[in-house]
Amino acid sequence: MPNKLSPLLKRSAFTVVVGCGRLGASIANMLSDEGGGVVVVDQERESFNKLSASFGGMTLTGDSTDISVLDEANLGAAAAVVVVTGNDNTNIMVAQMAKELYKVKHVVARLYDPARESVYREFGIDTISPVVLSTREIRRLLQIEERGDIEENV
């Protein structure tokens, strides 16, 4: 099958965002606003409604665990892949496919489960866990408040 996307994409560095939920759409909008090339992949066409009106990247409807869909997204030429579907195990598999099959340098996967997140970080995948990030941020905010309290008391 002829690859419709590749001639356009080869010209510049681009990022593939897998999963167009709130996080995926937000990342895609950000990258596009910054002038970067973006391909967003999602199983549901309606998910792309979350993209902003100014989004200048490309969308691809399909199952991201399907090798032919990843081929069509031209993963082999991508500078980075961000895997943020709603399913941890899908994210783990697609991230490893990007690394092993397409040799993508920068692969980031979002994992909801912190226990799985720590395991896969050990395996060499850049993972982020919303729970861990939120916990850290909340702790930081609490510490600032505490310090504020202490300073007030001095």
Applying CB under 8 A, the residues found at the interface with other proteins are 65-67, 87-90, 92-94, 96-97, 100-101, 113, 115-116, 119, 122-123
- Least distance (Å) from other proteins to the CB of residue 148? 37
Q: Which one, 19 or 37, has the nearer CB to other proteins? A: 19
In 3-state terms, what secondary structure has residue 114?
helix
Q: Confirm if 29 and 56 have CB atoms less than 8 A apart.
A: no
- Least distance (Å) from other proteins to the CB of residue 91? 8
Q: Which one, 33 or 113, has the nearer CB to other proteins? A: 113
44 vs 42: CA distance, rounded Å: 6
- Least distance (Å) from other proteins to the CB of residue 105? 18
Q: Which one, 66 or 145, has the nearer CB to other proteins? A: 66
In 3-state terms, what secondary structure has residue 58?
strand
Q: Which one, 58 or 84, has the nearer CB to other proteins? A: 84
| 39 Cβ contact list (under 8 Å, min separation 6) | 5, 9, 14, 15, 16, 17, 57, 58, 59, 60, 73, 74, 78
- Least distance (Å) from other proteins to the CB of residue 83? 11
